[in-house]
Amino acid sequence: MDYFPLFCRLQGKRCLLVGGGDVAERKARLLLAAGADLHVGALHFSPAFRQWADNGELSLIVGAFDAAWLDACWLVVAATDNDAVNQQVAEAAEARRIFCNLVDAPEQASAIMPSVIDRSPLLVAVSSGGCAPVLARLLREKLESILPQHLGQLASLAGTLRARVKQRFASAAQRRYFWERFFTSDRLAQTLANGDSARAEQITASLFSDDLPAQGVVTLVGAGPGDAGLLTLKGLQQIQQADVILYDRLVSEEVLNLVRRDAERIFVGKRAGHHCVPQAEINQLLLEQAQRGKRVVRLKGGDPFIFGRGGEELEMLAQHQIPFSVVPGVTAASGCSAYSGIPLTHRDHAQSVRLVTGHLQQEKVLEWQKLAAEQQTLVFYMGLSQAPHIQRQLMQHGMRADMPVALVENGTSTQQRVVTGTLDRLGELARQVASPSLIIIGSVVSLRDRLRWF
């Protein structure tokens, strides 16, 4: 993040604008709208500045820039058509630790002015860090078209209700639930848009009188294999609404960055050969948090129902009559194969796919003879440490030694790495990658050189 986004209260605070032309006019309008005590210094001023000054809306300082103009200022904007003067203003502001915005020189500015969507008191700011102001403007225009004008009224009404909500609802979770219903009430929004304040009060009163659920809920959400872009829309909605997030090590940092910032995060990850939190303890955490009335999301890498032990967790919740739901995710087999240029099925190579756990404690249920059959693709999850055993068993049961294999490390992430070879070298290849890695075995792997896109 190149800039820290911050909304500043400038009402009654002295601000300096250096420049008196067209560009400075645009900056002046924003500062005046924010209620700043605006002082404008320049050799010459446009008619607009003269008019503002005559109306008592701002003060003019006639002359060449003087560092003394900065005295008692909270913010400075340099908007002249002279780069040397703008630089002089920036240096003087920097020496006094005053934030300074420079027109057309974002790399030298300590502050930037974003494009603003004004639904006061609701404000939305869009910034490209000065790199692409036209793009920021286009985005602002798009947001303008989809954000209703009555949002400001809704936000203002909410401001008058905060003390009442805090008194009515004891817990933060209940208050959050109330506000979500308040802001998503179509009836309330329409009533405000129509200017019917009496009806708006009736609808608001009904929201206060409705009972809120005393018991929490649990949602299992598949986070996908790594790339945050593969998170489903419903998954995003759930993690934005959650009070508590239980997540494992396969959930990428990019996905975690989408979690609501005030949500409690509990790491329950497991690493190969070392179980950080036993499954029974994870189950108990889910139960306890839900019984406290929390909305709990169990965020799992990949898909909760494909080697994610989601079924075990839901069985426990069902036993205790805790409401639950499941949001599927893109499983590692689909994500890693697609990002590696390896189709899981292909008319000429594989007519079926088998997803197999590499935890070979379940050895007795693995039918190696069927796994070694032709015209199919095998995908081994969590099989890195067992790669030599997988190689040996498949070859002993008839799979050819030169069958193409691929190992995908950190699949779909920016650190993805793919190692390819043949089955008779699988154990050796496994030593070249780190966990988490997925093993894909089948003739479809031979298509990678033609189909991969990065």
**In terms of DSSP bridges, do strands 295-300 and 244-247 run parallel, antiparallel, or are they unpaired?**
parallel
Block residue for tokens 């209700």? 161
pLDDT band (50, 70, 90) for residue 275: low
Spatial neighbors of 331 by CB under 8 A, at least 6 apart, are 222, 225, 302, 303, 306, 355
262 has catalytic annotation? no
pLDDT in tens, 43-54: 999 999 999 999
Q: What would the two tokens of residue 300 be?
A: 């799992």
Per-residue burial over 107-119, b if 16 or more Cβ lie within 10 Å, else e, is ebbebbbbbbbeb
CB count within 10 Å of CB 341 equals 18
pLDDT at 71: 94
Residues marked as binding for NAD(+)? 22-23, 43-44
Q: What would the two tokens of residue 188 be?
A: 């309330």
Q: Provide the total of helices (H) and of strands (E) in the chain, helices listed first.
A: 17, 19
Domains of the chain, CATH where assigned: 14-113 (3.40.50.720), 151-209 (1.10.8.210), 217-330 (3.40.1010.10), 333-451 (3.30.950.10)
Helix (H, G, I), strand (E, B) or coil at 346: strand
Residues marked as binding? 22-23, 43-44, 225, 301-303, 306, 331-332, 382, 411
pLDDT in tens, 305-318: 999 889 999 999 99
Q: Has residue 453 got a pLDDT over 80?
A: no
Task: Please tell me the chain's helix, strand, coil percentages from 3-state DSSP, rounded to the nearest 5.
Answer: 45, 20, 35
Partner residues linked to 116 by β-bridges = 125
pLDDT at 212: 65
pLDDT in tens, 240-261: 989 999 999 899 999 999 998 8
CA angle 234, 236, 239 (to 5 degrees): 110
pLDDT in tens, 69-96: 999 999 999 999 999 999 999 999 999 9
Residue from 248, 294, 300, 402 carrying the catalytic annotation: 248
Q: Has residue 21 got a pLDDT over 90?
A: yes
Structure letter (DSSP) for residue 350: B
Is-contact 296 216, C-beta < 8 A? yes
23, 29, 110 from 76: Cα distances, Å: 15, 14, 10
Q: Has residue 399 got a pLDDT over 90?
A: yes
Assign residue 381 a region (left: φ > 0; alpha: ψ between -120 and 50; beta: otherwise): beta
pLDDT at 113: 85
pLDDT at 364: 61
pLDDT in tens, 314-346: 999 999 999 999 999 999 999 999 999 999 999
When pLDDT is averaged across residues 115-133 and rounded to a whole number, the result is 86
248 has catalytic annotation? yes
Residue from 270, 294, 300, 424 carrying the catalytic annotation: 270
- Percent of the chain exceeding pLDDT 90 equals 63
Partner residues linked to 407 by β-bridges = 419, 439
Is-contact 427 323, C-beta < 8 A? no
Report d(CA 420, CA 341) in Å as an integer.
12
Q: What would the two tokens of residue 339 be?
A: 């990002």
Residues marked as binding for S-adenosyl-L-methionine? 225, 301-303, 306, 331-332, 382, 411
When pLDDT is averaged across residues 198-227 and rounded to a whole number, the result is 86
Partner residues linked to 350 by β-bridges = 346
When pLDDT is averaged across residues 407-428 and rounded to a whole number, the result is 95
Provide the mean pLDDT of the chain: 90
Partner residues linked to 454 by β-bridges = none
Let me know if 296 is exposed, middle or buried by CB neighbors in 10 A (0-12, 13-18, 19+).
buried
Block residue for tokens 């403007």? 137
When pLDDT is averaged across residues 147-160 and rounded to a whole number, the result is 88
